[in-house]
Amino acid sequence: MAMDDERWVDDFRISPDMLRRQAEAAQAAGFAQLAENLRRAAELTDVPKEELLRIYEALRPGRSTQAELLAVADALERDYGARRTADFIREAAAEYARRRLFRSE
């Protein structure tokens, strides 16, 4: 039993597969957007904490230029295979450009 405990404690991170399973369950129960969120999350499990914080910061209003935010998206897709999340960030970039939410230079 102690062994069990130690094993859970060693790594308390959820796996991408588990997140995708939860996404399927959410989708089936009628929570499509939650499911999409969990699919994005599944792509982010291996992204280090500091990296996540940097991406979040880049997405905040007035933080990035368009090129910088697109570079963030590209890096996420390239380094972690996070295609959905990258597309989501690209979509944000398009809207930020239209609504002037980028850092002015």
Partner 1 sequence: MTQSKRFARLAERDINKETFVEAWPDAGLIVADGPNDPRPSLTLEPAPHKRVIEMDGKTRAQFDSLDTFIADHFLDLSVAEEAMATPSLQIARMLVDINVPADQVRRLALGCTPAKLCEIVRHMSVLEMMMGLAKMRVRKTPANQAHVTNRRENPALLAADAAEAALRGFAEIETTVGIARMAPLNALCVLVGSQTGRGGVLTQCAIEESMGLRLAMKGLTSYAETLSVYGTERSFVDGDDTPWSKAFLASAYASRGVKIRFTSGTGSEALMGSSEGKSMLYLEARCLCIVRGAGSQGVQNGSISCIALPESLPGGVRAVLAENLIAAMLGLEVASGNDALASHSAIRKSAKLMLQFIPGTDFIFSGYSAVPRRDNMFGGGNFDAEDFDDYNVLQRDMQIDGGLRPVREAEVLAVRREAARAVQAVYAELGFPEIRDEEVEAAVVAHSSDDMPARDIVADLAAADRFLEGPQDVRDVISALRRHGFPQIAANLTEMLRQRTLGDYLQPAAIFVRDDPSSPKPTFRVLSALTDPNDYAGPGSGYRLQGARWQEITALPQARSPHDFIADRIGAPLPNLHELGPARPGRFNEVIVCVGPAFGTALTQTINGLPHEEVLKAIFTGIAKEGMIARLIKAYHTSDCAQLGFTASSYSGSGIGIGLQSRGTAVIHKRGMPRLHNLELFSFSPSLTLETFEQIGRNAAKYAKGEAVKPVPVTVDNWARLRLIVKTALLHRRETEEVRDKPPQELFFDWEPDV
Does 105 help bind partner 1 (rule: CB under 8 A)? no
Alpha-carbon radius of gyration of the chain: 17
Residue from 13, 70, 69 nearest 42 by CA: 13
Q: Which residue lies nearer to partner 1 by CB, 59 or 77?
A: 59
Helices (H) and strands (E) in the chain, counts: 6, 0
- Minimum separation from the CB atom of position 90 to partner 1 (A): 10
66 close to 78: Cβ distance less than 8 angstroms = no
SS3 label, residue 1:
coil
Sign of CA dihedral 94, 87, 32, 36: negative
Binding residue for partner 1, selected from 3, 24, 27, 61, defined by CB under 8 A: 61
Using CB under 8 A as the binding rule, whether residue 86 contacts partner 1 is answered as no
Is residue 70 a contact residue for partner 1 (CB under 8 A)?
A: no
Which parts of this chain interact with partner 1 (CB under 8 A)? 1, 5, 8-15, 18-19, 21-22, 25-26, 29-38, 40-45, 47, 49, 52-53, 55-57, 59-62, 85, 88-89, 91-92, 95-96, 98-99, 101
